[in-house]
Amino acid sequence: MKCPHCGYKEDKVVDSRATAEESAVRRRRECLECGKRFTTYEYVEEVSLMVIKKDGRREPFDRKKILNGVIRACEKRPVSMEKMEEIVTQTERSIQKKSDREVSACRIGELVMERLKGLDDVAYVRFASVYRQFKDVLGKDKKARR
């Protein structure tokens, strides 16, 4: 951190605490050259992630949508809310690590299915049936069978 008084590039942190709304960290620093103190604030930089839908539309990433889908798939199954949250968190982290600023809805669905498959077979099939738009057990439209 560069001292705003003398421009020296080394300092020590004297005090560190969260702001009242806990959206930043306030740090009191002391310059090792001139001895003057100054305050800095650190904020988490949130990069907005856009989801590319199947029809080409783009919308902001919404963690709640993934969680709602997982909750519906796990309804009446022996899967704790903690495990469901974990699936969503792992999916979100995976997307953030691999993506620039855009990710396809298909990729999100695949990641969720991978995690559900190892957790609960029924929840996996439920999620996959909605995600892949199965019309019947065979995955074919009923009209096509006639």
| Residue at 112: amino acid letter | V
Which residues are registered as beta bridge partners of 15? 28
pLDDT category at 12 given cuts 50, 70, 90 is: very high
CA distance 59 to 66: 14
Render pLDDT for 61-101 as a digit per residue (tens, 0 to 9).
888 999 999 999 999 999 888 899 889 888 888 888 876 78
Residue boundaries of the structural domains of the chain: 11-43, 50-131
Question: pTM for the full model?
Answer: 0.59
